[in-house]
Amino acid sequence: MAKVLIIEDEAVISMMLESWIADLGHETVGPASTIGKALNLIETTEFDAVILDMALDGPLTYELAETLRARGIPFAWGTGYNARDILPEFRDEIIVSKPYSFDAFALAIETLLAAGPQAATVS
């Protein structure tokens, strides 16, 4: 059973994702609805993958994406943004488009978990 961190500011969406993660046989970490809460969970909790909302009540979450990359933790953007709206250096990450579909979400989780932790790189 894998642990998946949810970083999402909409409570209803978080609850749906928690349910889907359980349906897939995994455990939820979080959810975190602010950048501060997310950073705290990233630094203090073990997990295998992350679903990262592109914006948390306004602020974009590139800081979190950079932290996850530095730690070698696979993540997918959960967003209503188009790929072209994402900074070029983050476009190679998996994008799960909102509104979510279970099949797309399940494929993203499967892909993230298959990737496993990546070696942290320094740029």
What is the rounded distance in angstroms from the CA atom of residue 85 to the CA atom of residue 45?
Answer: 30
30 contacts: CB under 8 Å, gap ≥ 6: 5, 6, 7, 14, 37, 38, 41
Each residue of 110-122: pLDDT tens digit?
999 998 776 443 3
Distance from C-alpha of 68 to C-alpha of 112, rounded to nearest angstrom: 13
- pLDDT tens for each residue of the chain, 123 residues long: 999 999 999 999 999 999 999 999 999 999 999 999 999 999 999 999 999 999 998 889 999 999 999 999 999 999 988 888 899 999 999 999 999 999 999 999 999 999 877 644 333
* Interatomic CA distance for residues 72 and 50, integer angstroms: 11
In order of their start, the domains of the chain are 3-115 (3.40.50.2300)
Residue range 17-33, pLDDT digits in tens: 999 999 999 999 999 99
The span from the CA of 9 to the CA of 37, in Å, is 11
CA distance 100 to 5: 17
